[in-house]
């Protein structure tokens, strides 16, 4: 079945460091790919998305490129801030053509801690 694998955390960085969180997926067809962020005590918020191969999603300085050849969607940011400290989830949208549902399959999440 479809699945998402992301790097385990925690990832601890100093402010202004470069961030990469790896995400790879297994899917049939052409899923959409997402990164969600969860700040302490809150629900999940969409950070960025890409709907087809070679698309680049970007938001708040974060970027991720949909790489079909490597089945990857790695999250990157050039210079992290303390306010970026959160849990990041990679996800894919699994389309059930019969029922038209688009279930989200999530990775296990990566905790990012940015120190001043």
Among 12, 14, 26, 45, binds other proteins (CB under 8 A): 45
Give SS3 for 84: helix
Q: Tell me if 51 contacts other proteins by CB under 8 A.
A: yes
Q: Which stretch binds other proteins (CB under 8 A): 13-21, 43-51, 61-69, 77-85?
A: 43-51
Burial (CB < 10 A; 0-12, 13-18, 19+), residue 52, is exposed
CB 71 within 8 A of CB 63: no
Q: Residues for the chain: how many in total?
A: 116
The strand pair at 110-115 and 11-14 is best described as parallel
Specify the residue, 5 or 72, whose C-beta has the smaller distance to other proteins: 5
In 3D space, the residue among 78, 80, 89 whose CA is nearest the CA of residue 111 turns out to be 89
Q: Tell me if 101 contacts other proteins by CB under 8 A.
A: yes
Query: DSSP label at 106?
Result: E
Specify the residue, 70 or 96, whose C-beta has the smaller distance to other proteins: 96
Specify the residue, 56 or 103, whose C-beta has the smaller distance to other proteins: 103
Residues that bind other proteins (CB under 8 A): 31-32, 34, 36, 42-46, 49, 51, 89, 93, 95, 99-104, 106-109
């Amino acid at each position: 079945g479809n699945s998402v694998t992301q790097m385990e955390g925690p990832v601890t960085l100093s402010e202004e460091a470069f961030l990469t969180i790896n995400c790879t997926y297994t899917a049939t067809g052409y899923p959409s790919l997402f990164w969600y962020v969860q700040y302490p005590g809150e629900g999940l918020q969409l950070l960025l998305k890409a709907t087809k191969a070679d698309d680049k999603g970007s938001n708040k300085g974060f970027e991720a490129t949909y790489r079909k050849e490597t089945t990857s969607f790695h999250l990157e940011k050039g210079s992290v801030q303390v306010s970026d400290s959160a849990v990041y989830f990679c996800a894919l949208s699994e389309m059930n053509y019969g029922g038209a549902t688009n279930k989200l399959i999530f990775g296990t999440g990566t905790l990012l801690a940015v120190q001043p």
